[in-house]
Structure 1
Amino acid sequence: MSDYPVEVRGLETRFGQTWVHRGIDLAVPAGEVVALVGGSGSGKTTLLRQMVGLMRPTAGDVSLFGEPLFAGSRAEQLERRRRFGMLFQHGALFSALSVFANVAFPLREIGITDEAMLRDLVRLKLAMVELDADVALRMPAELSGGMVKRVALARALALEPELLLLDEPTAGLDPDRSSGFVRLIRALHRALGLTVVLVTHDLDTLAALASRVAVLTDGRILAFGPLGEIIKVQDPFIERFFHSDRAQAALARGRGMG
């Protein structure tokens, strides 16, 4: 793996006359968990999607695993994309497909057709996210919010990626399910040696997971480093986001997770 599985250089994003990013530079070190935080409209999720080619920036460059995101033939680009998985905020499961078919989908896409092998692989992926094999028979509408997240995570891990991207992974979960999901991500990160990039506004999740934090304000990365260093930066956003009594209590809870 590259020392920096994700590198963003000079990235700019404009929607109409509105600038969202004005020169983003960020290199995500291998094996770390990097959290993207910022105010509403700061472009966190947009940046996450641009990192994996779901959106194109107005200008600038994105590299994955040391190679330009869109470099090479279509086959080479597809091979590069198989090295990451993404968990969308609301799971983005295919509502007309069973849990089994959802998790098997990326496996079928790479050409696995043996049904016995698919059953074994899906069972393995569900076990990795602490779900019983019989969940495979259910439809997404029959799942709780926490189970939807876990099934979506199983699908994101189907191709054994090196890089995992998470968009608001604990959004919509109650505190107990949120803590359980955070512990699961921590365990998977350690066991699989993943590099993780996540967007979150939840300080409990941030404190529990992130080894580094990137703060987006005014279209740029204001600060990037360990949480202990970030909270010392003198800036109005950081003061509001990290230093209120409520924020301090959340950070304390997050440090106790896992």
Structure 2
Amino acid sequence: MSTRQTAPPQVVALRGIVTRFGNNLVHEGLDLDIGGGEIVALVGGSGSGKTTLLRHIIGLTRPAAGSVRLFGEALHAGSVHERLARQRRFGVLFQQGALFSAFTVGENIAFPLRELGVVSEDEIRDLVALKLAMVEMAASDALLMPAELSGGMVKRAALARALALEPELLLLDEPTAGLDPDRSASFVRLILSLHRELGLTVVLVTHDLDTLAAMASKVAVLADRRILSYASIEETLRVDHPFIERFFGGAHGRRALARAKETG
């Protein structure tokens, strides 16, 4: 009796996405499927709507047409309780961290836990310490204010908050922007470690080729208002398109891809 391998469950499914800002058509009939366990890098030129697409996926904005499904369910379907339960299954790291400046690091991480209201303050304190340890920060860092953190620590604290509710899907908007090369490489290693340990599906918007080459199992190229290519880096490089040539074809791109191949 033969056994048939099944594909990883679809975590994100976008169908026929249309996005307009006034007379500016950004996405036109865009489709994208992301399976469980993937690390997908979303790349595209300036104004191609990368971050907008990320905002559609988490429900901060709605497309003019088309559908967004997460974990096999329509993003906005169901009761308030059902929608909240769906939202708990993803976490987001915004480009600048978006920490609440008037809250300590610990209060920032505790915020989604308190909003949920299903754990005690003692449990919240223990969970904050656990999430800080997961992103390689000390428990004492919970007492710091965001203004006291370095750029790398802001990213880690924001990542700890994104992981507070133990999500299955992690979305990252330019996760290494503003970091020097050493801190960027360290942050990439941390995300890869969390991806393995927690079984996360990761979607990241990035323009940084070193980050992309080190992390991505697939690349979704956003060009001409649609997903032009959705494949491994090696397969993407074989696509004949001006954006792909510009993005990957320069000296920096060749060096980044060569380094990733050596370390991979």
Question: TM-score, normalising length from structure 1?
Answer: 0.97
Query: C-alpha separation between the residues in 2 aligned to 1:92 and 1:196?
Result: 19
Within the alignment, does 1:247 sit opposite 2:253 as a pair? Answer: yes
Counterpart for residue 162 of structure 1: 168
Deviations 1:113-140 (A, max 9, x none): 5222111100000000000011000000
Query: C-alpha separation between the residues in 1 aligned to 2:67 and 2:220?
Result: 18
Aligned in 2, Cα 1:132/1:257: closer, same or farther, shift over 3 Å?
Answer: farther
Deviations 1:202-239 (A, max 9, x none): 00000111000000001011100111100111111111
1:26 to 32, 35, 56: 32
Query: C-alpha separation between the residues in 2 aligned to 1:113 and 1:37?
Result: 38
Query: C-alpha separation between the residues in 2 aligned to 1:117 and 1:241?
Result: 46
Counterpart for residue 216 of structure 1: 222
How many residue pairs get aligned? The number is 257
Structural RMSD (CA): 1.2
Structure 1 residue 246: Cα displacement = 1.9
Query: C-alpha separation between the residues in 2 aligned to 1:114 and 1:41?
Result: 44
Counterpart for residue 51 of structure 1: 57
Query: C-alpha separation between the residues in 2 aligned to 1:67 and 1:58?
Result: 19
Within the alignment, does 1:174 sit opposite 2:180 as a pair? Answer: yes
2:195 to 158, 165, 189: 189
Query: C-alpha separation between the residues in 1 aligned to 2:258 and 2:94?
Result: 27
State the identity %.
67
Within the alignment, does 1:78 sit opposite 2:53 as a pair? Answer: no
The residue matched to 2:140 in structure 1 has which SS?
Answer: helix
Counterpart for residue 125 of structure 1: 131
Aligned in 2, Cα 1:256/1:50: closer, same or farther, shift over 3 Å?
Answer: farther
Kindly indicate whether the alpha-carbon contact (under 8 Å) linking 1:183 and 1:257 is maintained by their aligned counterparts in 2.
Answer: no
Deviations 1:49-108 (A, max 9, x none): 100101111110000000000000111101100000000000000000000100000111
Aligned in 2, Cα 1:256/1:168: closer, same or farther, shift over 3 Å?
Answer: farther
Deviations 1:130-178 (A, max 9, x none): 0001100000000000000000000000000000000000000000000
Counterpart for residue 4 of structure 2: none
- Which runs of 5 or more structure 2 residues have no equivalent in the other structure? 1-7
TM alignment of 1:60-79, pairs within 5 A? 60-79=66-85
Aligned in 2, Cα 1:257/1:154: closer, same or farther, shift over 3 Å?
Answer: farther
**Aligned partner of 1:44: which letter?**
K
**Aligned partner of 1:148: which letter?**
V
Structure 1 residue 256: Cα displacement = 5.2
Query: C-alpha separation between the residues in 1 aligned to 2:193 and 2:63?
Result: 33
Structure 1 residue 252: Cα displacement = 2.4
TM alignment of 1:98-113, pairs within 5 A? 98-112=104-118
Structure 1 residue 254: Cα displacement = 4.0
